[in-house]
Amino acid sequence: MARLITIEPLTAAAFAPFGQVIEIEGAQHYPINNGMTERYHDLARVELGGVHPRPLISIFRGQPYDLPLTLRLVERHPLGSQAFYPLSANPWLVIVAEDNGGVPVRLRAFAPGPGQGVNIAMNAWHGVLCPLEAEADFLIVDRDGEGINLEEHHFDLPWTVTR
């Protein structure tokens, strides 16, 4: 029995149950630096929970996946949100799932458009970093601090992500 996930476009409304879309389209903005810079303000809600949390800014370099993609696991971070913003125009996917008593259900795959990133909410199930076609770098904002901030769920029967 095939368990299929069809890729859909990334929109703020569709992604809202899982976090925020990071994009300048429709964002609050204003000029700074004597009018030479436009600041797009407060694009995502950084969540930091647990003991002695501190925000981290990192760059992840991901190797490309091919479609159809066999999805065997998802993860979540119970103590903090995790933001991904691409540093290139290379295509990539965001895979997320709803939670049902600690089990990921109703999986969805989104294809961000150019200039779109995501901030995955604290404790939301999501797939691993998933660039397509070429190696890609991403700016990441997430949490460091005491406590276990990673939970993985391995599927007994994998999912197939396709266009």
Alpha helices in 7-142 (DSSP H): 12-15
Alpha carbon of 106 to those of 10, 19, 123, 128: distances in Å?
A: 16, 16, 16, 17
- Residue 93 corresponds to which tokens in the numbers above? 């996917």
Cα dihedral 111, 113, 114, 119 sign: negative
Report, in angstroms and rounded to the nearest whole number, the Rg of the chain calculated over CA atoms.
Answer: 16
The model carries a pTM of 0.95
pLDDT, tens digit (0-9, with 9 covering 90-100), for 45-79: 999 999 999 999 999 999 999 999 999 999 999 99
* Domains assigned to the chain: 4-162 (2.60.120.480)
pLDDT, tens digit (0-9, with 9 covering 90-100), for 94-112: 999 999 999 999 999 999 9
Q: Is 33 helix (H, G, I), strand (E, B) or coil?
A: coil
Q: Is pLDDT above 90 for 1?
A: no
**Res 118: pLDDT:** 98
Q: Is 12 helix (H, G, I), strand (E, B) or coil?
A: helix
